[in-house]
């Protein structure tokens, strides 16, 4: 059977599998740091790239490679590089694609540290960055400079839920000779495939939907072509931000149920978004599944589902948000997202706390914004929890 031609769910169950001497149904954990060679000649061939035998786990490992093959298949990419976290994916990409004096244009409302590392750390290496609202395509084109090498998009954006038109940005990137990088964490490969829309590189914090069980921190980068793949893999090996085999095993296990988890979570999310939007204490709400979302139509075109992330604000602002967060019991007051459990958090004081007040304001990360990651519990219980919490506001 040609797994590349099979459906998404079949790929989820079978794409990464290996055929070992025991007929293992599931990819085992090859918990070894190094691999022995049959002979010195064979060892030399492995190092010369003339044999694909394993050498050392930082460079490659059967459990990790199984996960890489599987995610590359799900994103329709040439290959994938598993790394220790989503931030390791972002920094490996920055360090691989940028040299001193190069410039990047990026979505302003991205995961806080992915912006912070550029503006506060990599500025020392001469990397330049401009953060803008990428929902406005003209703004992107205006921000491009002679030295712009990369356009970096997060859609839907964390935490504003704004959606950027990937096809339109891909056209601009290609016109200006830039590489398009997309952080696809909020969708997972089940809901959005940026490489099919023209992106060059996609990455995920697998800590979120892909693993989905709030027990692993991990990341992965997928590329459309071989040259960029080799460049990124070499950087990962040199930085040493490889994944661990046990981590890969857990992600492989979580991944198998990606579609059933997301189907359930987004079914819940729609009910919760409808409940919140009608609630008299709610001032505004952004959820891609509701017509009130400013890019509702675009979301329907480029995403295969609405996802399970909601952002909203109360009429009582930050004071009300604090009261709600302190009075929900089922939803955990915690950062992270995309897991089986419902989470609530306050981006302005938590995930995006280090973004300056001014930049937060410009990016729409307002003080009243509450981010809600809907889990797979019963929707009625999550709604009941919110209802009683809102009564205390």
387 classed as catalytic: no
Report if residue 335 touches ligand LCS, rule: CB under 6 A: yes
Report if residue 154 touches ligand LCS, rule: CB under 6 A: yes
Residue sitting closest to ligand LCS (CB): 86
Report if residue 217 touches ligand LCS, rule: CB under 6 A: yes
Residues 99-138 that bind ligand LCS (CB under 6 A): 111, 114
Report if residue 219 touches ligand LCS, rule: CB under 6 A: yes
253 classed as catalytic: no
Candidate ranges 60-68, 119-127, 272-280, 335-343; the one touching ligand LCS (CB under 6 A): 335-343
Distances, alpha carbon 223 to alpha carbons 93, 98, 182, in Å: 11, 16, 11
Residue 84: how many CB atoms within 10 A of its CB?
19
58 classed as catalytic: yes
Residues 164 and 107: beta-carbon distance below 8 Å: yes
Please report how close the Cβ of residue 159 comes to ligand LCS at its closest, in angstroms: 7
DSSP code of residue 242? B
Nearest to 65 by CA among 27, 105, 119: 27
By rule CB under 6 A, what count of residues binds ligand LCS? 18
Candidate ranges 57-65, 79-87, 266-274, 277-285; the one touching ligand LCS (CB under 6 A): 79-87
Nearest to 59 by CA among 40, 76, 81, 78: 81
Please report how close the Cβ of residue 48 comes to ligand LCS at its closest, in angstroms: 34
Strands of 266-346, DSSP E = 282-286, 309-314, 332-333, 343-345
Phi–psi pair at 312, nearest 5 degrees: -155, 165
Please report how close the Cβ of residue 355 comes to ligand LCS at its closest, in angstroms: 12
Please report how close the Cβ of residue 235 comes to ligand LCS at its closest, in angstroms: 17
Residue 381: how many CB atoms within 10 A of its CB?
12
Decide: helix, strand or coil at residue 188. Answer: helix
Residue from the set 165, 183, 200, 385 that interacts with ligand LCS by CB under 6 A: 183
CB-facing half-sphere around the CA of 86: CA atoms within 13 A: 27
Residues 290-319 that bind ligand LCS (CB under 6 A): none
Please report how close the Cβ of residue 117 comes to ligand LCS at its closest, in angstroms: 10
Report if residue 190 touches ligand LCS, rule: CB under 6 A: no
Report if residue 85 touches ligand LCS, rule: CB under 6 A: yes
Please report how close the Cβ of residue 96 comes to ligand LCS at its closest, in angstroms: 17
Q: x/- contact string, 22-41, with ligand LCS (CB under 6 A)?
A: --------------------
Residue from the set 185, 188, 242, 259 that interacts with ligand LCS by CB under 6 A: 185
Buried b (16+ CB within 10 A) or exposed e, 212-247: bebebbbbbbbbbeeebbeebbebbeebebbbbbeb
Q: Provide CB contacts within 8 A for 121, sequence distance 6+.
A: none
Please report how close the Cβ of residue 113 comes to ligand LCS at its closest, in angstroms: 7
User: How far, in whole angstroms, is CA 167 from its chain's centroid?
Assistant: 18
208 classed as catalytic: yes
Catalytic position from the list 58, 253, 256, 323: 58
Residue among 219 and 254 whose Cβ is closer to ligand LCS: 219
Catalytic position from the list 102, 108, 165, 183: 183
Residue from the set 129, 148, 160, 207 that interacts with ligand LCS by CB under 6 A: 207
Rg (CA), the chain: 21
Please report how close the Cβ of residue 64 comes to ligand LCS at its closest, in angstroms: 16
Report if residue 337 touches ligand LCS, rule: CB under 6 A: yes
> Cα separation of 180 and 201, whole Å?
6
DSSP lists the bridge partners of residue 222 as 80, 202
Strands of the chain, DSSP E = 79-83, 103-107, 128-132, 148-154, 179-183, 201-205, 219-223, 282-286, 309-314, 332-333, 343-345, 370-373
List residues binding ligand LCS (CB under 6 A): 85-87, 111, 114, 154, 158, 183, 185-186, 205, 207, 217, 219, 335-337, 351
Q: List, by residue number, the catalytic residues.
A: 58, 111, 183, 208
């Amino acid at each position: 059977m040609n797994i590349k031609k099979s459906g998404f769910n079949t790929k989820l169950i079978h794409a990464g599998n290996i055929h070992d001497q025991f007929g293992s149904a599931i990819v085992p954990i090859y918990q070894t740091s190094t691999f022995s060679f049959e002979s010195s000649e064979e060892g030399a061939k492995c190092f010369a790239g003339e044999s694909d035998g394993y050498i050392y786990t930082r460079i490659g490992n059967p459990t990790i490679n199984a996960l890489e093959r599987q995610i590359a298949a799900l994103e329709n990419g040439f290959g994938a590089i598993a790394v220790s976290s989503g931030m390791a994916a972002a920094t490996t990409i920055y360090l691989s694609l940028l040299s001193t004096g190069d410039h990047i244009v990026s979505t302003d409302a991205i995961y806080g540290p992915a912006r912070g590392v550029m503006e506060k750390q990599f500025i020392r290496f001469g990397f330049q960055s401009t953060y803008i609202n990428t929902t406005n395509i003209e703004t992107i084109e205006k921000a491009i400079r002679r030295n712009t090498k990369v356009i970096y998009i997060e859609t839907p954006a964390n935490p504003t839920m704004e959606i950027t038109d990937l096809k339109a940005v891909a056209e601009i990137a290609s016109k200006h000779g830039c590489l398009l990088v997309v952080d696809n964490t909020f969708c997972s490969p089940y809901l959005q495939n940026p490489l099919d829309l023209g992106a060059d590189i996609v990455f995920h914090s697998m800590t979120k939907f892909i693993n989905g069980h709030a027990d692993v921190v991990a990341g992965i980068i997928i590329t459309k072509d071989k040259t960029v793949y080799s460049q990124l893999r070499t950087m990962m090996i040199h930085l040493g931000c490889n994944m661990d085999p046990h981590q890969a095993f857990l992600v492989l296990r979580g991944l198998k149920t990606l579609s059933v988890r997301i189907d359930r979570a987004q079914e819940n999310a729609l009910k919760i978004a409808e409940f919140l939007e009608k609630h008299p204490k709610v001032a505004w709400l952004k959820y891609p599944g509701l017509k009130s979302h400013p890019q509702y139509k675009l979301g329907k075109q480029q995403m295969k589902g609405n996802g399970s992330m909601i952002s909203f604000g109360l009429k009582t602002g930050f004071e009300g948000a604090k009261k709600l967060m302190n009075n929900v019991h089922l939803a955990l007051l915690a950062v992270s997202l995309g897991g089986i459990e419902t989470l609530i958090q306050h981006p302005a004081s938590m995930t995006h706390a280090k973004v300056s007040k001014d930049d937060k304001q410009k990016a729409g990360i307002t003080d009243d914004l509450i981010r809600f990651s809907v889990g797979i519990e019963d929707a009625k219980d999550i709604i009941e929890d919110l209802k009683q919490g809102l009564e205390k506001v």
